[in-house]
C-alpha cells in the first residue's frame, strides 16, 4: 500500500513539474552578454504574431539642439523596409516615444523568419542626403497637421506638467533642419548599441525558436561603452517650439507613478469610467514603470464638470473596464509585445500579472480619491 502511494505521489510530482516546465516555455526572457534582451511569449489561440524591436534612448538622449533627430532616424530606418514588408505580406509600424523607439512587424505565424530578417535589416547604417532630410521634415509636418485633438492635448499636458523636462518626441523643426547626414548616421550607430535593444515577440510563436533564431545576431552588436560616445555635431541650440494647429475642447492632465501602483491604476480606471459615461472623452496614457501622464481629453469645453459628475456607480464600473483592458493586453500579440517591450526597454521587469495583482485593492474609496486627484490636475483648454 505504501509503495502504491509512493508511486502515485511520484507521478503527481512529475506531472506537476511537466506542467510548470511547459508553462515556463510559453514565456521566455533572455538577456544576452552585451545587454540585449529577447522576450518571447506564446498566446493561446493567437492567429498572428507581433515582432517588435524596441530601442532605448539611453546614452542618446535628445538635447534642445537635437530634438527630433531620433524621429528623423526612425523615418529613415523604416523607409528601407517598405518594399521588403509589402512583398512579404507584413504590416510594419514605427513610432518614436519620449524614451524609446519601436518598430513593429505584424504578420501571420509563417512569416516569422521574414519578420526577423526585417529586424536585422534595421541595424544597417542609414544612407541619406541633405535633400532627403528636407523631404522627411516636410512629411513630419504633414503628420503634425493630421494629429488628433486628444494627442495635441496630451503633448501640451506633458509640456506644462513636466515643464519640458522630457522633449516632445515629434521634435523641433528648427533642430531637425540643423541635422546633417553625418550627424544622423553617427547617432543611429550609437542608438543601436546592444544594451539599448529589446526584441519582444508575442502570439502564435514557439518562444525558444525565436530566441535561438535571433540571439546570435543581437549578441554580435557592440555595447554603448564600445562605441564612440562623442556627441554628434550640431548647430547652435534651437529653442523654437512646435506650432500645433488648433485643438478644440478641453482636457485634464495628471501625473501617474508606475503602472503597477494602485493609485495610478485607480486614476486610469476613472479615465475609463469617464470615457464610458461620456463618449467624447479620450483617455491617453503610455504604459510605463516610471513617472508618466494621464490625459483625459474631451471635444467638450467642460471636461472638469464631466469628470466631477461621475456617479459612484459609474466609478465602480471603471474597475471592470480597467481589468478588461489588462486582460485584452494579454490576449493581443501586438499589445502584449508592446507592453513588455516598452517596460523592458525602461529596464523594468514588470509583468502583466504583477500589474493585474496591483488592481486587487482598488475599491470605491480609491476611485473617489483618484477622481479628486484628476480634477486637481492641469486643466487645458482649446488652444493654438
CATH value of 247-383 in 3.40.1710.10, 1.10.287.130, 3.30.830.10, 3.40.50.300: 3.30.830.10
- Structural domain 28-226, CATH architecture: 2-Layer Sandwich (3.30)
Q: What angle do the packed helices 69-79 and 181-191 form, to 10 degrees?
A: 80
Cell of 232: 554628434
Percent of the chain with pLDDT over 70: 88
Q: Pairing relation of β-strands 197-203 and 37-42?
A: parallel
Q: Where are the domains of the chain?
A: 28-226, 247-383
Higher pLDDT, 151 or 363: 363
22-75: per-residue pLDDT in tens? 444 799 999 999 999 999 999 999 999 999 999 999 999 999 999 999 999 999
pTM: 0.89
Decide: helix, strand or coil at residue 286.
coil
Provide the pLDDT confidence category of residue 76 given band limits of 50, 70 and 90. very high
Closest by Cα among 101, 51, 95 to 333: 51
Distance CA 119, CA 351 (A): 24
* Mean pLDDT computed over 16-24: 41
- pLDDT exceeds cutoff 60 at 15: no
Nearest to 254 by CA among 266, 241, 244, 267: 267
pLDDT higher than 90, residue 103: yes
| The pLDDT value given to residue 243 | 43
Asked whether the domain spanning 247-383 has the same topology as the one spanning 28-226, the reply is yes
The alpha-helical segments, DSSP class H, found in 31-178 are 69-79, 82-88, 112-122, 130-145, 149-161, 173-177
Instruction: List, for residues 299-345, the tens digit of each pLDDT value.
Output: 999 999 999 999 999 999 999 999 999 999 999 999 999 999 999 99
Span 141-194, pLDDT tens digits: 999 888 888 999 999 999 899 886 778 999 999 999 999 999 999 999 999 999
Among candidate residues 30, 36, 29, 39, the one with its CA nearest the CA of residue 222? 36
DSSP state of 49: E
Amino acid at each position: 500500500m505504501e509503495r502504491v502511494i509512493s508511486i502515485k505521489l511520484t507521478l503527481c510530482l512529475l506531472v506537476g513539474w511537466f506542467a510548470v516546465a511547459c508553462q515556463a516555455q510559453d514565456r521566455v526572457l533572455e538577456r544576452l552578454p552585451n545587454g540585449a534582451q529577447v522576450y518571447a511569449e506564446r498566446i493561446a489561440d493567437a492567429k498572428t504574431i507581433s515582432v517588435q524591436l524596441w530601442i532605448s534612448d539611453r546614452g542618446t538622449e535628445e538635447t534642445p539642439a537635437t530634438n527630433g533627430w531620433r524621429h528623423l532616424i526612425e523615418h529613415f530606418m523604416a523607409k528601407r523596409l517598405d518594399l521588403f514588408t509589402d512583398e512579404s505580406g507584413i504590416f510594419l509600424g514605427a513610432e518614436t516615444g519620449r524614451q524609446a523607439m519601436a518598430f513593429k512587424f505584424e504578420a501571420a505565424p509563417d512569416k516569422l523568419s521574414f519578420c526577423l530578417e526585417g529586424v536585422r535589416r534595421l541595424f544597417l547604417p542609414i544612407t541619406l542626403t541633405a535633400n532627403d532630410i528636407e523631404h522627411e521634415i516636410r512629411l513630419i509636418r504633414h503628420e503634425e497637421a493630421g494629429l488628433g485633438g486628444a494627442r495635441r492635448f496630451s503633448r501640451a499636458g506633458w509640456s506644462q506638467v513636466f515643464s519640458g523636462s522630457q522633449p516632445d518626441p515629434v521634435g523641433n523643426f528648427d533642430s531637425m533642419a540643423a541635422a546633417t547626414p553625418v550627424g544622423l548616421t553617427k547617432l543611429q550607430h550609437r542608438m543601436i548599441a546592444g544594451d539599448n535593444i529589446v526584441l519582444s515577440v508575442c502570439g502564435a510563436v514557439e518562444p525558444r525558436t525565436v530566441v535561438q533564431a535571433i540571439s546570435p545576431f543581437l549578441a554580435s552588436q557592440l555595447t554603448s561603452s564600445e562605441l564612440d560616445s562623442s556627441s554628434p555635431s550640431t548647430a547652435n541650440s534651437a529653442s523654437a517650439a512646435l506650432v500645433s494647429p488648433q485643438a478644440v475642447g478641453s482636457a485634464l492632465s495628471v501625473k501617474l507613478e508606475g503602472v503597477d501602483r494602485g493609485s495610478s491604476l485607480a486614476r486610469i480606471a476613472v479615465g475609463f469610467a469617464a470615457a464610458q459615461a461620456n463618449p467624447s472623452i479620450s483617455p491617453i496614457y503610455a504604459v510605463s514603470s516610471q513617472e508618466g501622464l494621464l490625459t483625459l481629453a474631451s471635444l467638450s469645453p467642460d471636461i472638469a464638470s464631466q469628470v466631477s459628475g461621475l456617479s459612484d456607480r459609474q466609478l465602480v464600473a471603471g474597475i471592470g473596464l480597467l481589468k478588461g483592458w489588462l486582460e485584452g493586453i494579454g490576449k493581443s500579440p501586438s499589445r502584449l509585445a508592446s507592453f513588455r517591450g516598452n517596460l523592458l526597454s525602461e529596464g523594468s521587469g514588470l509583468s502583466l500579472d504583477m500589474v493585474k495583482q496591483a488592481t486587487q485593492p482598488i475599491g470605491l474609496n480609491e476611485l473617489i480619491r483618484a477622481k479628486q486627484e484628476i480634477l486637481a490636475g492641469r486643466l487645458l483648454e482649446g488652444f493654438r
